[in-house]
Amino acid sequence: MISTTLGSLGRPVLQAIAAVGRVALFAAQVLGHLLRPPFYLRELGVSLLQIGWFSLPVVGLTAIFTGGALALQIYAGGSRFNAESVVPSIVAIGMTRELGPVLGGLMVAARVASSIAAEIGTMKVTEQIDALVTLSTNPLKYLAVPRVVAATLAMPVLVATGDAIGIMGGWLVGTTRLDFNSAAYLKNTVDFLQGWDVGSGLVKGAVFGFIVALMGCYHGMNSARGAQGVGAATKSAVVSASVLILAANYVLTEVFFSS
């Protein structure tokens, strides 16, 4: 009875530890290939386009609505303390430090991790990955490394763009709905914002980009056979990338701002 209970408790813990170990080994293998030739620049270029450029609309739309909603909430909350004037500065800090990178990361996780996992998973079940091996090409180097590098490079750019659009969303709502003076709103934003507010968000973006592509590639490469296997890999990629982004965000915020 006791051993059965302990067993049922211990089994998922051991499975979780084993999964963490497998992901860590996969990440180490990807990083190990970063500086060793051959380099697949064409694949890197295609990945930059697909992960970076084609994610711009979803990141931009997320940012503009978030910036607008944030301005409304801060105004409503601030009015309880006669502190409505903090709207521009809090919108700027909120977007650059937290909401830009986190919401951008989650949206890219939904869009990119799923597509990477589905693509690589399909390649696995249709023997395209075996074909790569028989053509003397390392699948990890050809498929995973360009995607991980591209996502790590593209995410900070997406975050910076999202930050700017989010702040503009706040400005739009502030000037059209909350009676802020346009020039004063922008001056307040620029004066209050510090370099590290933006820089920390960009670092977070790079980490989140790495996580998104790593999870997409890992789950794709380990996809089970059949449509159900690819579907499960896709779902696992999005869920694990999203959870890891939120966890990494807490850790990075602790490291950057706890003092």
Q: How far apart are CA 89 and CA 100, in angstroms?
A: 15
Element (H, E) at 221: helix 195-221
Which residue of 85, 126, 181, 228 would you call a contact of another protein, by CB under 8 A?
Answer: 126
Smallest separation, CB 113 to another protein (Å): 18
Options 133, 224, 227, 246; binder of another protein; rule CB under 8 A: 133
Residue 136 binds another protein, judged by CB under 8 A = yes
Output 97 or 111, the one with its CB closest to another protein.
111
* Residue 197: count of CB within 10 angstroms of its CB: 18
How many residues sit in the footprint of another protein (CB under 8 A)? 13
CA–CA dist 59, 111 (Å, integer): 10
Considering only residues 26-55, where is the footprint of another protein by CB under 8 A? 38, 46
153 class by beta-carbon count within 10 Å (0-12 exposed, 13-18 middle, 19+ buried): middle
What does the per-residue mask of binding to another protein show for 65-104, with x meaning CB under 8 A?
----------------------------------------
Among 158, 186, 155, residue whose Cα is nearest residue 170: 186
Q: At its nearest, how many Å lie between another protein and the CB of residue 30?
A: 20
Nearest distance in Å: CB 78, another protein = 51
224 conformational bin, left if phi > 0, alpha if psi -120 to 50, beta if neither: beta
Interface with another protein (CB under 8 A): 38, 46, 123, 126-128, 130-131, 133-137
